[in-house]
Amino acid sequence: MAAAVKVYGPPLSTAVSRVLACLLEKDVPFQLLPVNMARGEHKKPDYLKIQPFGQVPAFQDESITLFESRAISRYICDKYANQGNKLFGTNPLEKASIDQWLEAEGQSFNPPSSVLVFQLAFAPRMKLKQDENLIKQNEAKLAKVLDVYEKRLGESRYLAGDEFTLADLSHLPNGQYLVNATDRGELFLSRKNVERWWGEISSRESWKKVVEMQNSPPPSA
């Protein structure tokens, strides 16, 4: 058996949890290495060698080192194509549909939802002042995006078609916080098809394990 791949970063990070969900879906053994961001470990020279932007996660598989959660997830789907659940397509048409919804997540869904998650879930815990104007703007942006999703999910079970793919998975990290750690869960739950989709994707065993990891006390480091 090959050595476990390594993921650097805390599972509470949305980008780290995206990679963890992908590894669990693909049945890839992994080792999670803590990065204490409160102590600035992500900005230290040794860490910057593997993640030059000083962000989490970083990822290692034998001799390869990668950053950017969506790129890491694509690599996992590609390298481990023949194990676990199929998260990516094999012909240009299937791949293109997954790619377009994965890009919609990265470019349209992620920007407003990560602002809302930060402002509504993290800022209060960090005793930072919330920016009401920014919240309002991004709530309106996200509502428009979810209107498009609502229509799409009335036509197909998942974003890219009949099967759960990396495009759906990629929405789990921000979706989880929005629905469970802010008072704006209605953005998802008031839209019939989005709510049905969210129920399906967030109850997958892989994702439930990630949420458990998020709720476990961090290792004493």
How far is CA 183 from each of CA 35, 130, 135, 199, rounded to the nearest angstrom?
Answer: 29, 14, 12, 18
Interaction mask 35-74, a copy of itself, x per CB under 8 A: -----------------xx----------x-xxx-xxx-x
Report the length, in residues, of the chain. 221
Nearest distance, CB of residue 39 and a copy of itself, angstroms:
20
Nearer to a copy of itself, 40 or 52 (CB): 52
Contact 166/87 with Cβ under 8 angstroms? yes
Instruction: Find tokens 């991004």 and name the residue.
Output: 138
Strands, sheet with 64-67, edge to edge from the N-terminal-most edge strand: 30-33, 5-8, 58-61, 64-67
CB of 161 to a copy of itself, least distance (A): 13
How many chain residues interact with a copy of itself (CB under 8 A)?
A: 30
6 binds a copy of itself (CB under 8 A): no
Residue type, 9: G
Work out the angle at residue 43's Cα, subtended by the Cα atoms of residues 62 and 12, and round it to the nearest 5 degrees. Answer: 75
Q: How far is the CB of 103 from a copy of itself (least distance, A)?
A: 4
- Token pair for 127: 């005793």
Q: Which of residues 86-115 bind a copy of itself (CB under 8 A)?
A: 92-93, 95-96, 99-100, 102-104, 106-108, 111
Q: Shortest gap between Cβ of 127 and a copy of itself (angstroms)?
A: 22
Contacts (CB under 8 A) with a copy of itself, residues 160-219? none
Using CB under 8 A, which of 27, 148, 186, 196 touches a copy of itself?
A: 148
In this structure, the number of other CB atoms found within 10 A of the CB of residue 79 comes to 15
Q: How far is the CB of 150 from a copy of itself (least distance, A)?
A: 10
Q: 173: cis peptide before it, omega within 30°? A: no
Task: Indicate the helix (H) or strand (E) that contains 187.
Answer: helix 186-189
Task: Candidates 39, 43, 136, 151: give the one binding a copy of itself (CB under 8 A).
Answer: 151
Of these, 46, 78, 132, 162, which contacts a copy of itself (CB under 8 A)?
78
Cα distances (Å, whole numbers) of residue 61 to 4, 159, 200, 210:
8, 29, 30, 20
Q: Residues in the site for a copy of itself, rule: CB under 8 A?
A: 52-53, 64, 66-68, 70-72, 74-75, 78-79, 92-93, 95-96, 99-100, 102-104, 106-108, 111, 145, 148, 151-152
